[in-house]
Structure 1
Amino acid sequence: MSPILEMRGITKTFPGVKALQDVTMTVARGEVHAICGENGAGKSTLMKVLSGVYPHGSYDGEIVFEDQPCQFRTIRDSEERGIVIIHQELALSPYLSIAENIFLGNERSKRGVISWTETNKQAADLLARVGLDEHPDTKIIDLGVGKQQLVEIAKALSKRVKLLILDEPTAALNDEDSAHLLDLIRHLREQGITSIIISHKLNEIAAIADTTTIIRDGRSIETLDMHGAEPVSEDRIIRGMVGRDLAHRFPAHTPSIGAEILRAENWTVHHPIDRSRTVVDGAALVVRAGEIVGLAGLMGAGRTELAMSIFGHSYGSNISGQLFLHGKPVTIRSVDVAIAHGIAYATEDRKHYGLNLIEDIKRNTSAAQLSRISRFGVVDAAKEITLADQYRREMKTKAESVDVPAGKLSGGNQQKVVLSKWLFAEPDVLILDEPTRGIDVGAKYEIYEIINRLADAGKAVLVISSELPELLGVCDRIYAMSQGRITGEIARAEATQEGLMRYMTMEKKA
């Protein structure tokens, strides 16, 4: 296949940081081309150069698209040539309809007046192309993330896309929505549309990509033919990403399990709006000092609702059951009381609920326990810097100083700041909800090492994860949930993916 895109010698520098250095990449017409690399390797920066987010003149190198040199100064310039990027953070207006979002800035009008008949007709045609069975008048806020992703692709198709760039398109999707999206990308390939996909999910790369370019430390390392004579394994991709073999994806750990710290009995949680709906049904679990306990379940099983309800009833108030800390019954009806009792919860959505992205590392680190660095209501700035910098070094957070805004960090380093915040609060119980979501394999290994250190320090750690290999590799015991109930408890030595899945799909008895 002839190349549709060539990027030659792309170098992009930010103050004090060379984000890209002499990156070269060729994408064939009509293929799915994956880009892999650790967080901070430069993948998204390269795509922002290509799409005009970083305009010509702000970088060195050359872009050739359809045999023509290109100098994109805005996103509109690249879109006019048929290059459309869909960012990881979806750019949809929640209170506008699907049709309005698809044609926003590209309205269907005649003599300056929008034709809503034509807008809705064309939107319906595009929704049919992406397999989304929704009325064009449906508001974005009423759609799940998976359907919103399809709206973004429909929007790209409305711009006569030739090259579609998807940045972590399945990061926030469940397995069913992810599979549907990958099928759509295959279908677009059959229609002659070229795609570039950035993803940390190596199993998805193996399933969808024709070629894979690996970027490490801002440099293009190699491009792999995924359909060559020798199949490309996940370990082969990882070796290129991190520059070394990861013989073991999970660090070795010998637990030292002590006394019970957290126990929940007959824990029942109702939906905060629809109180007739039970989202956690009579759950019982125990987590001991020095123990890492996993919580497995499919989307909607009630894992996050269980965690949030334990964490100061932060999921509604219609909750019943008993909670014990260190063997004593406690009543915890607010987040501040939960923190005071030594319970911490690292949310699965670190960007919206775990961090203040416009604040710096030190403010995020101290946010959950300002009393440690305050006197008479006044924050000791010097102490805040000292303690935040201590956690930055202990966590190996890649940042020049604690004055760097959290929003400027890679996903793995943002997660380290979230963990620093909760360690700063000195908890006894740490609940980690999808702690490695959207994080590359190298950074995942570092997070696993941190989790092990927390257990070794005597913390009770509860890990919620959608990745069964992760639970099997990290946890000492695993609970499985299905339809709001805990359906099984398995020791690590006896646990298998097949066994967990049986418990996770167990139907509720009438």
Structure 2
Amino acid sequence: TLMKVLSGVYPHGSYEGEIVYENQTINFKNLRDSEHLGIVIIHQELALSPYLSIAENIFLNNEIKKKGLIDWNQTNLEAQKLLAKVGLSEDANTPVSKIGVGKQQLVEIAKALSKRVKLLILDEPTAALNDADSAHLLDLLRQFKSQGMTCIIISHKLNEIAAIADQTTIIRDGRVIETLDMKADKVDQERIIKGMVGREMNNRYPARDPKIGAEVFRIENWTVHHPDDIERVVVDHANLNVKAGEIVGLAGIMGAGRTELARSVFGHSWGAKISGKVFVNGKEVNVKNVRRAIEAGIAYSTEDRKRFGLNLIDDIKRNISLASLDQFTKRGLVNANEEFKVASEYRESMNIKAPSANSIVGKLSGGNQQKVVLSQWINVNPEILILDEPTRGIDVGAKYEIYTIIQELAAKGKAVMVISSELPELLGICDRIYAISEGSITGEVERKDFSPELVMQYMTTVKDVSNV
């Protein structure tokens, strides 16, 4: 919210106080006003059109014109120069849909450079990036700093803040708690966490005493082809299982096939030429569509809650009931009172910080939105709950609450699978971890054998194609 004020998304008059920029008090009517002064914000949800080219995206609403017409030759030439500045070698005519999310983030930065940016604001810039793309982006910011550009990063990845920031301002419940000089004060991650949650956090993960039962969920020889390239195998003869009361992690670098595996199991909601078997409580089940998957006891919480997990313009109660409307419906009508009652119970038990179950989901923080998503699927009462990036883009305190919720589900006998790009998270909360690389399950590690090096070794195993 604060950065939206600074960048002109929220205009002057919608807030109290002053913005002082280059020793002058300034009032922005809109985003264009701030961009004219060199202030550019890149939101967590990238604002790129997938069907336009890279060059078209870079100069969208900032077109290079000649005699009233867009000069496409100059547009492509300038776009190529900007791509070089951010370390991309892609052809500027390439559609954005053809490049990965890491490169799309760099296209957003190239777009900012086209506006002669002086102050670059990045909201969770590495949330969806793998380690290599994250490292490249941070190196790029260091380069910008050496050239005199100022950058503000909003991030919950504290290791990155500790590595790159000169100063860190901690905000909690809408108030500035403190500003730390990272070098002079010798600030580490634990110090930042203390400021964020208001107390010492000796353990980032709740203590756990697992009581693991019989097998609940199993897939055998699960194979999935890419829907746009039918010959490309994305998940290759995968085998895994999850037991009652067990939390199992699925680790892999971006593009390894983690989400594709989960979505394909959840009612064939992704992929083509899907084959293999799915078992729930020892019985083979038909998961040819999402309804069948839910009826079989499978629930999936998406990695992108804002695009696929929630209706942001609707309220908490309707979002929670979305996947279980049958519980609230009689003769084709929804019982709104029962819907409100159940949602209010979840608001209380999940500690969703909102005035009531009628609150609009889009106005909640990321952590509270994630709790709504979890409530939505817990209410289905599944046998196996697959959580894809359940703590992406939320703060340390909210993460701890999510971990506690996951553990409580396991303690009640639910089988839980967690997909995460943060290896320390999987090591901290899971009983077992599968590693996936190039669509194949390459390793399985029990908790007693956990080590980052071993899991990473499996995650980076290259498929042997010599005999293929």
TM-score with structure 2 setting the length: 0.96
**Percent of paired sites with the same residue:** 67
CA drift of 1:412 comes to 0.8
CA drift of 1:58 comes to 2.0
Cα deviation digits, residues 278-325 of structure 1 (max 9, x gap): 222222212111111111111222221221222122222422222221
Instruction: Tell whether 2:409 aligns with 1:461.
Output: no
Partner in structure 1 of residue 239 of structure 2: 284
Amino acid at match of 1:214: I
Partner in structure 2 of residue 29 of structure 1: none
Partner in structure 1 of residue 62 of structure 2: 106
CA drift of 1:136 comes to 2.2
Q: d(CA) in 1 for partners of 2:156 and 2:121?
A: 15
Partner in structure 1 of residue 75 of structure 2: 119
Matches within 5 A, 1:173-252: 173-228=129-184, 230-252=185-207
Q: Pick which of 390-399 and 59-68 moved more.
A: 59-68
Amino acid at match of 2:293: A
Q: d(CA) in 1 for partners of 2:49 and 2:238?
A: 38
CA drift of 1:504 comes to 1.1
Amino acid at match of 1:270: H
Matches within 5 A, 1:387-398: 387-398=342-353
Q: d(CA) in 2 for partners of 1:225 and 1:306?
A: 44
Contact 2:320 2:375 in 1 (8 A): yes
- Given candidates 210, 216, 230, the residue that maps to 1:275 is 230
Matches within 5 A, 1:358-369: 358-369=313-324
Contact 2:263 2:300 in 1 (8 A): yes
CA drift of 1:88 comes to 1.4
Q: 1:278 to 1:137 in 2, by over 3 A?
A: closer
Partner in structure 1 of residue 88 of structure 2: 132
Instruction: Tell whether 2:445 aligns with 1:445.
Output: no
Partner in structure 2 of residue 92 of structure 1: 48
CA drift of 1:433 comes to 0.9
Partner in structure 2 of residue 345 of structure 1: 300
Q: d(CA) in 1 for partners of 2:202 and 2:246?
A: 25
CA drift of 1:73 comes to 1.9
Partner in structure 2 of residue 324 of structure 1: 279
Partner in structure 2 of residue 313 of structure 1: 268
Amino acid at match of 1:439: I
Question: Residue 135 of structure 1 aligns to a residue in which SS?
Answer: coil
Cα deviation digits, residues 330-349 of structure 1 (max 9, x gap): 22211101101111011111
Cα deviation digits, residues 3-51 of structure 1 (max 9, x gap): xxxxxxxxxxxxxxxxxxxxxxxxxxxxxxxxxxxxxxxxxx1111111
Instruction: Tell whether 2:208 aligns with 1:253.
Output: yes
Residue ranges of structure 2 left out of the alignment (5+ in a row): none
Partner in structure 1 of residue 39 of structure 2: 83
Amino acid at match of 2:111: K
Question: Residue 276 of structure 1 aligns to a residue in which SS?
Answer: strand
Q: d(CA) in 2 for partners of 1:201 and 1:358?
A: 28
Greater RCO (Cα-Cα under 8 Å, separation 6 or more): 1
Question: Residue 348 of structure 1 aligns to a residue in which SS?
Answer: coil
Cα deviation digits, residues 106-159 of structure 1 (max 9, x gap): 222234232222222222221221122122222222222222222221121122
Q: d(CA) in 1 for partners of 2:73 and 2:41?
A: 28
The alignment of Structure 1 onto Structure 2 pairs a total of residues equal to 465
- Given candidates 406, 419, 439, the residue that maps to 2:374 is 419
Amino acid at match of 2:138: L
CA drift of 1:174 comes to 1.8
- Given candidates 157, 161, 182, the residue that maps to 2:117 is 161
Question: Residue 197 of structure 1 aligns to a residue in which SS?
Answer: strand
Contact 2:268 2:287 in 1 (8 A): yes
Q: d(CA) in 2 for partners of 1:258 and 1:202?
A: 36
Question: Residue 370 of structure 1 aligns to a residue in which SS?
Answer: helix
Amino acid at match of 1:98: I
TM-score with structure 1 setting the length: 0.88
Amino acid at match of 1:301: A
What is the root-mean-square deviation in Å for CA atoms of aligned residues? 1.5
Instruction: Tell whether 2:151 aligns with 1:171.
Output: no
Q: d(CA) in 1 for partners of 2:70 and 2:460?
A: 49
Q: Pick which of 350-359 and 243-252 moved more.
A: 350-359
CA drift of 1:408 comes to 1.3
Partner in structure 2 of residue 46 of structure 1: 2
Amino acid at match of 1:398: K
Amino acid at match of 2:170: I
Q: 1:57 to 1:273 in 2, by over 3 A?
A: closer
Partner in structure 2 of residue 429 of structure 1: 384
- Given candidates 357, 365, 386, the residue that maps to 1:402 is 357
Cα deviation digits, residues 162-182 of structure 1 (max 9, x gap): 111111111122222211111
Residue ranges of structure 1 left out of the alignment (5+ in a row): 1-44
CA drift of 1:373 comes to 1.0
Q: d(CA) in 2 for partners of 1:311 and 1:98?
A: 33
